[in-house]
Structure 1
Amino acid sequence: MRREELLAGLRELFLREGFAGLGVGELAARLRCSRTTLYLVAPSKEQIVVATVRSYFKNAAERVEARVAACDEPGLRLATYLEAVASELQPASEAFYTDLAGFAPANEVYQANTGFAAQRVQQLVVEGVEAGALRPVNASFVGAAVAQVMSAIQTGEIEAATGLADAEAYRQLADLVLAGLA
C-alpha cells in the first residue's frame, strides 16, 4: 500500500470517527495493513494524525481552489469559495472536530488553514470590488471579520451558540457575507 493510499484511508476513517480513540494497531487493522506499513505515513501515531489532518486540508484546499478557478464571474467567486469550503467540511464528524480541538498539533493545522481561508476571502473580496461585482468595502475588514467568525467556528463557539455544525456555519457565513457585499 502506498503512502497516498494510506493517507486516503486514514482521512476517511478520521473524518468519520475521529482519531483520539484509535491506536496504531487498530488503525493498521482497519486499513488492512501492517503497523510497519502504517509507519510509512509517519514514525508515530501523533505524527500520523498530523500528516493525515494536513493531507485532508491540503486536498480540500485544492478542490476548493479548482471550483473557484472554474468560476468566471468575479462576483460569484467568493460565494463559490465559501460554499466549497462548507462542502469540504461537510463529511467531517463531530468526533473529528472534537479530536481536532483536543490535540494541539492537529488543531494548529486547522488554525493555519482557517487563517489561509480568511486571507483568501480577503483576496476574493478585493477581486470582486475591483471588477465592480461587489460593492466597495474595506477588504481587510471583511477578511478580519470573516477570520474571527471562522475562528469561532473552528473553536466550537458558533456551534455552542447556534447548534450549527461547522459546514452549515460556513454556509451561513457565506450567506451573511454575500448579502452584505451585494
Structure 2
Amino acid sequence: MQSSPATDFGTARRTQLFDQLLTLFLAEGFAQLTLDDIAARLRCSKSTLYTLAGSKDDLVVAATVHFFRGATAHVESRVGAVDGARARITAYLTAVGQALDAASARFMADLGAFPPAREVYETNTAIAAQRVQDLIAEGVAAGEFRDVHAAFAGELAATMMVGIQQGRVRAATGLDDAAAYRELAAILTGGIDA
C-alpha cells in the first residue's frame, strides 16, 4: 500500500518538526521551556505541537525517543562499516560518544531530572550495554578476545556509559564524552584481547 502525497508531506513535516524540536532541546534543555516558547522557537502553533504529542511532557518523551532512534541508526551504521570484534566495539563506543556530543549539559541535566525521559535514556543505556556484551561474545567466539565473562564486561561498559552520560566522568577526569568513550573502548578491548 502506497501512501498519498498528503501523508508523505505530513510525515515529512512531523519529522522536520521533531528534528527542530530535538535541536532546540539538545542545545538548551527543555525544563525551562513552555509550550508557548517551543511554538515560538519552532515558528509553529501550539495546535501543531499537539499533533506531535498531547502535552509538553509527552513532547519531551517523544523528542527523547527521536534522539535515541537517530543515535542508534548512526551508531549501527558505524559498526556495520567495520570488521572484527575489536573494531566493532571501538566503532560502537566511539559513535555513542559522538551521538552524545550533540547533547548539552543542560539537556542531560533535564533528562536526568525528568523521570519519563530518564527512563527512555536508561532503557537505551541497557540496550547499548547488551549490544556491547553481544559484540564481546562474538569476539570471544571468533577467538579475537580471550574467554571473558561477556555479561560482566557488558555491565562494566554500562556502568561507565552511565557515568559518562551523567557527567561524572567529565567532572572526575576532564574528558569530554567522545574522548571518554574512546578510552572506554581502548581499555575494554585491550583488557579482553586474546
TM-score range, shorter chain: over 0.9
2:147 partner SS: coil
CA shift, 1:102, in A, is 1.1
* Distance in 1 between residues matched to 2:38 and 2:86, nearest whole Å: 44
Q: Which one is further off, 170-179 or 85-94?
A: 170-179
Aligned residues between the structures: 182
Q: For 1:133 and 1:123, locate their aligned partners in 2 and report how far apart those are by CA, in whole Å.
A: 14
* Structure 2 residue matching 1:40: 3-state secondary structure: helix
Residue 130 of structure 1: how far off its partner (Å): 1.2
> Contact 1:111/1:154 (CA < 8 Å) preserved in 2?
no
Whether 1:180 aligns to 2:191 is yes
Could you say which residue in structure 2 is the equivalent of 1:51? 62
Distance, in Å, in 2 between the alignment partners of 1:31 and 1:130 is 50
| Aligned partner letter, 2:142 | A
1:110 matched to 2:121? The reply is: yes
Q: Does 1:123 align with 2:141?
A: no
> Cα 1:97–1:165, aligned 2, differ >3 Å: closer, same or farther?
farther
Partner SS state of residue 118, structure 2: helix
In 2: Cα distance, 1:45 partner to 1:181 partner: 45
Corresponding residue to 1:15 among 26, 31, 38 = 26
Letter in 2 for 1:123: D
- Identical amino acids, percent of aligned pairs: 49
Deviation at 1:62, TM superposition (A): 1.2
RMSD, matched Cα: 1.5
Look up the match of 1:170.
Answer: 181
What TM-score, normalized by structure 1, do the two folds share?
0.93
Matches of 1:59 and 1:24, distance apart in 2 = 24
Q: Is the 8 A contact 2:79 2:92 kept in 1?
A: yes
Segment of structure 1 superposing worse, 163-172 or 77-86 = 163-172
Per the alignment, residue 81 of structure 1 pairs with 92
- In structure 2, list runs of 5 or more residues that go unmatched: 1-9
Deviation sequence 1:1-43 (CA, Å, 0-9, x none): 7211111001111111111111111111111111111112101
Instruction: Give the TM-score normalised by structure 2.
Output: 0.87
Of residues 40, 50, 55 in structure 1, which corresponds to 2:51?
Answer: 40
Show the counterpart of 1:154: 165
Q: In structure 2, what is the equivalent of residue 93 of structure 1? A: 104
Structure 2 contact 86–189 (Cα < 8 Å) conserved: no
For structure 1, the 5+ residue unaligned runs are none
- 1:116 Cα deviation after fit: 0.5
